[in-house]
A and B are shown apart, each in its own frame.
Chain A
Amino acid sequence: MPTEQQISGWGRFPKAQGQQHFYRSESELAALVAEHPHCIARGGGRAYGDSALAGVMLNSKHFNHVRAFDRDSGLITVEAGLILADLLAAFVPQGWIVPVTPGTQFVSIGGMVASDVHGKNHHVDGSFGQHIQSLRIMMADGSIQQCSATDNADLFHATIGGMGLTGIILTVSFRMLPIQSAWIRQETRRCDSLDAVMDEFEQSQHWKYTVAWIDCLSQGENLGRSVLFRGEHASRAELPMPLAERALAPKAKRKLNVPFNFPRGLLNRWTVSAFNEVYFRRAPEKRTDFVDYQSFFYPLDAIHNWNRIYGKKGFVQYQCVIPKAESREALQKLLGLIASAGEGSFLAVLKLFGPQDGLLSFPTEGYTLALDFPAKPSVFALLDRLDQVMLEHHGRIYLTKDARMSAHTLRQSYSELSHWQDIANLYDPKQRWQSEQSSRLGLRQSEPPKEAQNS
């Protein structure tokens, strides 16, 4: 019998008490589902907040087989517990990569579906959900349902981005992308202001991958100064000689580790400003080079346990998206608030999304801003002010990053929420799937939870 343990998401805030159960087959999972009235699936544990925390967590790490792969079409079927890094390690050398990847490869494929993750190519290829052909799901009554865009379509769309609250994803079938090399031709551009980087994004729509690092502490005319990265998969023919020889198998890089929790206060206005100044000045005004896919997509994965730099009390990540028409004005206000509060983070990212429909999926056409902050009262007060601006400009917050938004904020920002709830209630009338996050936000309830109503 598993013991109670203290457990948290990648942000190490909040911490919860719960039991983890592991399963290796569908029949083992069915027995666990029958035994526990309330539970939630847990994969790589890379959701930042409380999305995969609950009193009972069903951990998919051993349910991770590749079941089928068609080398002509690229269609692959995998068990949901498979970690993206393991999939890439096996298939990149064979000339295949995932069509959409988040910023870490330590997520599970099931988590990529439940969060409907986006990547640097969202403006071209949409989110991961748009590449899924079909899903198999264990339902609340222990039965197994297959679904796709044409077959049980409501369940399919409610599960993509559905935070694991429609059932336990068993297998995922999606199309891999053929590649000639594991290298990315990357162009780096320094942009002196928010206006400059937004103009660059507009002009980079034909690039497959775009993303910008943004200096969230600079103020005045430097507000929003950024370094923009654009990338394309390098063809074999364009690679220079030493790289071309190992086109699909770049040498593994040495990994760094953060061996212990850094003391609180190490990251402060001055150290982060200094880091940002150096990072910005070091970036070339314009340069092209070839980088391996790991360095391009997963720069932070090279530092194991980087979440320890925020200390034992953890951190929160704030990621919102603002519709395009209102982005410029809203970003000015958001960055102004963040810079004057002086609570900046190393990792601050700006990205332009393309159009997307979804029920509970995060992306929508517009700019998304992501930053992390140490978890402490002054930060929570700042984030509440950011929420106000975000709501005034019709934005929303990414559930997978969230650990603290209010139930009201959720209801004002996710316009398809009640539609999604109707589908979830149809397939799980007893509301057996529950996470700390779904309880906190009343995700499955038409009204916000009582506490939230009083505040």
Chain B
Amino acid sequence: MSQNQTALIIGAHSDMARAIANQLASEGYNLQLAARNAQARLARSATDLILRHQGEVNCLELDVAATDSHADFIEQLTPLPDVVVCVAGVMPDQQSAEQDYALAKLMIDTNYAGVVSLFEGLAPRMASRGTGCLVGISSVAGDRGRQKNYIYGSTKAALTTYLSGLRNRLASKGVHVITVKPGFVNTAMTEGMDLPEKLTAEASEVALDISKAIQKQRNIIYSKPIWRLVMLVIKHIPEFIFKKLDI
């Protein structure tokens, strides 16, 4: 149990974030839930978490893409959280993003730039305290660019590389960094897609994997674990073959 520890969940409105919040609250964490339009959109979730787990839950206003606001956001966090899980991420349709750069930029700003801004603000505070855990939700889509979602995938590739470097930097400071690479997950983001059952996780499974990774200080996790193998194969297909594939 993690009594009196606090976890900050960034991008707290999604199905994945709700599952992670529920998992951490069940372990005794108090929660800081951050999202856009927080009071209106998170009130129902906050009540649910308080009634189920009897911990403290605070809703905080945050726009991940609005990096100007991040310094103030971090300044007002009381207490400075023990665990931060950044779930913020958007995945508009690839073809729309090819035609409309605003959509591509929204992905870059939310999935990558916003996370960098927030984690860079949090990292020195955690380092000077000497404890903390930063969790970034990347994706298997970042392991190799595919025509079906390479703009989204490239933001996740950048995030994976960023988290790898941050982990390296903070390893000697008592702060741990976890990269989570989910495969397919049954959430609003994937609704209506025809996903293979054996490769598709429920959000609650990913949440449990993250909780275990925090306890065991794992570095990079795939969820479901089979994805590590799948991506190993995909990463090793030679480019001259890969470029002709439709996967």
Contact = CB atoms under 8 A, between A and B. Distances in A.
B53 A90 contact: yes
B45 interface: yes
B26 A89 contact: yes
B59 to A, nearest CB: 14
A69 interface: yes
Contacts of B69: none
B35 to A, nearest CB: 14
B26 A22 contact: no
A2 B192 contact: yes
A65 B47 contact: yes
B48 A65 contact: yes
A237 to B, nearest CB: 25
B194 interface: yes
Interface in A12-64: 22, 24, 62
B29 to A, nearest CB: 15
B6 to A, nearest CB: 20
Interface in B7-59: 15, 26, 44-45, 47-48, 51-54
A5 B186 CA distance: 15
B15 A65 contact: no
A62 B51 contact: no
Tell me what chain A mostly uses at the interface: helix, strand, loop, or mixed: mixed
A1 B51 CA distance: 34
Interface size class of A (residues with CB under 8 A): 10 to 19
B72 interface: no
Contacts of B48: 65-67
Tell me what chain B mostly uses at the interface: helix, strand, loop, or mixed: helix
A89 B47 CA distance: 17
A66 B192 contact: no
B51 A22 contact: no
B194 A3 contact: yes
A1 B44 contact: no
A67 B51 CA distance: 8
Contacts of B26: 89-90
A68 B47 CA distance: 8
A94 interface: yes
A1 B191 CA distance: 8
A68 B50 CA distance: 10
Given A90-B26, A90-B52, A65 B191 contact: no
Nearest to B44: A65
Which 5 residue pairs across A and B have the least CB separation, nearest first? A90-B52, A65-B48, A2-B192, A66-B51, A66-B48
Interface of B: 15, 26, 44-45, 47-48, 51-54, 188, 191-194
Given A65-B45, A68-B47, 10 more contacts: A2-B191, A5-B194, A62-B188, A65-B44, A65-B48, A66-B47, A67-B44, A67-B47, A67-B48, A69-B51
20 contacts: A1-B192, A2-B192, A3-B192, A3-B194, A22-B191, A65-B44, A65-B48, A66-B48, A66-B52, A67-B44, A67-B47, A67-B48, A68-B47, A89-B26, A90-B26, A90-B51, A90-B52, A90-B53, A91-B52, A94-B54
